[in-house]
Amino acid sequence: MILIEGTVRVPPGNVVAARPAMEQMVRASRAEAGCLDYAYSIDLMDPGLMRVTERWESRAALDAHFKTAHMATWRSFFPILGITDRSLRLYEAEPESI
């Protein structure tokens, strides 16, 4: 399993404007084959800091995600919304066991 954990920064005044694009990205990503979870959240102590968490079945699924139209659309919003300071880390982990 592949885990992505990180942050992006959105000017606090743009968080409401960013929400529709972020919701579209989350919905489309969650619908992808191999996506186990995909989420954005606002840091309660720093309203311009968006936390990113993703879980993918495999590196191949993640690689396919980077080539999707919704990823290109999401990235096109970065300059419009003032999204900066992307810091994402990739981890390999054992699949969850119950």
- pLDDT of 10 > 80? The answer is yes
pLDDT tens, residue by residue, 26-36? 999 999 999 99
Contact 1, 28 (CB under 8 A): no
Q: What is the mean pLDDT of the chain?
A: 95
Structural domain boundaries in the chain: 2-92
pLDDT band at 98 (very low <50, low <70, confident <90, very high): low
Task: Tell me the residue type at 8.
Answer: V
Q: Which two tokens stand for residue 49?
A: 């800091």
pLDDT band at 94 (very low <50, low <70, confident <90, very high): confident
CATH of domain 2-92: 3.30.70.100
- pLDDT of 19 > 90? The answer is yes
Bridge partners of 54, per DSSP, are 4, 38
